[in-house]
């Protein structure tokens, strides 16, 4: 563990750490906001997953989350979006390769050597965070776009691990949109049946009637340029209605896909998580 950055912020500190990931086989960076309450005892953790092209920097510098995390006493952990390095497979396009890990475990060459972001976020990163920071056992997860997809899928696949989940502009049905077809075809192979375990809508439809039904909070901008082609939140709405899964889908007029959108509602999302984390 190597401390890369540390900045005083709202009575706490915004830090960036680097470590060698055994799961991903490369150096990884993640942001950690320590609220002022962390100086006196354990705090719950909110994991934030960013979208395509992002690093750990986008959320910690643009979302304005530190103010609300300090108010509620929540540690926020924001990892990078993919493995990085000269020996890590990459592509010429923004939506595949480095910066586009899609939070899956790749099974196809050359991606399978490093692209295991699901295992990293679910297992390795929390173990590292719990060992080095004053965390309680309460966890929540959220994300944006590709990271919203990751947050929903990870929460749905791991009942009992997280107390709450939310998403901004998530890719809710990657098996049915171009971003998902491209990424899943490369990382997971051409058998589309294997893709379904990484699709939030499919997981909800296939869930057991008596299984955990964690309420989903989703904000979506109505002026999002990717709304109809890549995001399609009505698919999530239909899946939740069919499975009787609680969903609060908030369509926000005038908002696009940017961090201006996230910054406008991040306070409400953190309050949503705080209610669950401190219950």
119 is catalytic: no
Specify which residues 32 forms β-bridges with.
15, 77
Letter string b/e over residues 105-131, b meaning 16 or more CB atoms within 10 A of that residue's CB? bbeeeebeebbbbbbbbbebbbebbee
Report the 10 Å Cβ neighbour count for 206: 13
Looking at the predicted structure, is the pLDDT value of residue 42 above 90? Answer: yes
Residue 165: its pLDDT value, please?
98
207 is catalytic: no
Residues in the chain, overall count: 279
The model's confidence at residue 124, banded by pLDDT at 50, 70 and 90, is very high
> Stretch 264-273: mean pLDDT, rounded?
98
> Stretch 41-51: mean pLDDT, rounded?
98
Instruction: Quote the Cα angle for 152-249-64, to 5°.
Output: 70
The model's confidence at residue 209, banded by pLDDT at 50, 70 and 90, is confident
The model's confidence at residue 35, banded by pLDDT at 50, 70 and 90, is very high
Domains of the chain: 2-277 (3.40.50.1820)
Residue 178: its pLDDT value, please?
97
Specify which residues 21 forms β-bridges with.
26
> Stretch 17-33: mean pLDDT, rounded?
98
Looking at the predicted structure, is the pLDDT value of residue 271 above 90? Answer: yes
Cβ(28)–Cβ(84) under 8 Å? yes
Catalytic residue selected from 72, 257, 269, 272: 257
Catalytic residue selected from 144, 224, 245, 264: 224
The model's confidence at residue 211, banded by pLDDT at 50, 70 and 90, is confident
224 is catalytic: yes
| Tens-digit pLDDT profile for residues 129-153 | 999 999 999 999 999 999 999 999 9
Residue 208: its pLDDT value, please?
85
The model's confidence at residue 228, banded by pLDDT at 50, 70 and 90, is very high
Looking at the predicted structure, is the pLDDT value of residue 279 above 90? Answer: no
CA 63, CA 189: separation in Å to the nearest integer? 35
The model's confidence at residue 204, banded by pLDDT at 50, 70 and 90, is very high
Give the burial class of 241: count Cβ atoms within 10 A of its Cβ; 0-12 exposed, 13-18 middle, 19 or more buried. Answer: exposed
Catalytic residue selected from 9, 82, 145, 164: 145
Instruction: Quote the Cα angle for 115-111-120, to 5°.
Output: 10
Cβ neighbors of 21 (< 8 A, separation 6 or more) are 27, 28, 83, 120, 124
pTM: 0.97
Residue 210: its pLDDT value, please?
84
Looking at the predicted structure, is the pLDDT value of residue 6 above 90? Answer: yes
Cβ neighbors of 145 (< 8 A, separation 6 or more) are 51, 52, 168, 169, 170, 171, 226, 231, 257
Single out the residue of 46, 165, 26, 157 nearest to residue 103, CA to CA: 157
Task: Please tell me the least confidently modeled range out of 159-168, 204-213, 229-238.
Answer: 204-213
Residue 236: its pLDDT value, please?
98
| Tens-digit pLDDT profile for residues 70-101 | 999 999 999 999 999 999 999 999 999 999 99
CA 135, CA 129: separation in Å to the nearest integer? 8
Average pLDDT over the chain, rounded to an integer: 97
């Amino acid at each position: 563990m190597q401390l890369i950055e540390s900045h005083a912020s709202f009575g706490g500190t915004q830090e960036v750490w680097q470590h060698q990931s055994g799961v991903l086989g490369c150096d990884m960076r993640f942001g950690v906001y320590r609220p002022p309450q962390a100086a006196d005892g354990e705090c719950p953790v909110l994991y934030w997953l960013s979208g395509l092209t992002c690093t750990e920097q986008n959320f910690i510098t643009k979302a304005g989350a530190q103010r609300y995390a300090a108010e509620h006493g929540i540690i926020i952990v924001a990892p990078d979006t993919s493995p990085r390095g000269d020996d890590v497979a990459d592509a010429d396009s923004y939506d595949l390769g480095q910066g586009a890990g899609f939070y899956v475990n790749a099974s196809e060459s050359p991606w399978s050597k490093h692209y295991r972001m699901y295992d990293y976020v679910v297992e390795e990163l929390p173990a590292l965070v719990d060992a080095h920071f004053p965390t309680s056992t309460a966890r929540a997860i959220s994300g944006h776009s590709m990271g919203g997809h990751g947050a929903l899928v990870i929460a749905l696949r791991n009942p009992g691990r997280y107390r709450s989940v939310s998403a901004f502009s998530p890719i809710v049905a990657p098996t049915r949109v171009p971003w998902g077809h491209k990424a899943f075809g490369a990382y997971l192979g051409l058998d589309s049946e294997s893709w379904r375990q990484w699709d939030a809508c499919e997981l909800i439809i296939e869930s057991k009637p008596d299984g955990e039904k964690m309420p989903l909070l989703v904000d979506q901008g109505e002026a999002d340029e990717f709304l109809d082609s890549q995001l399609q939140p009505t698919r999530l709405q239909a899946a939740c209605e069919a499975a009787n899964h609680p969903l609060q889908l908030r369509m926000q007029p005038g908002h696009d896909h940017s961090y201006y959108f996230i910054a406008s509602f991040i306070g409400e999302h953190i309050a949503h998580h705080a209610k669950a984390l401190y219950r």
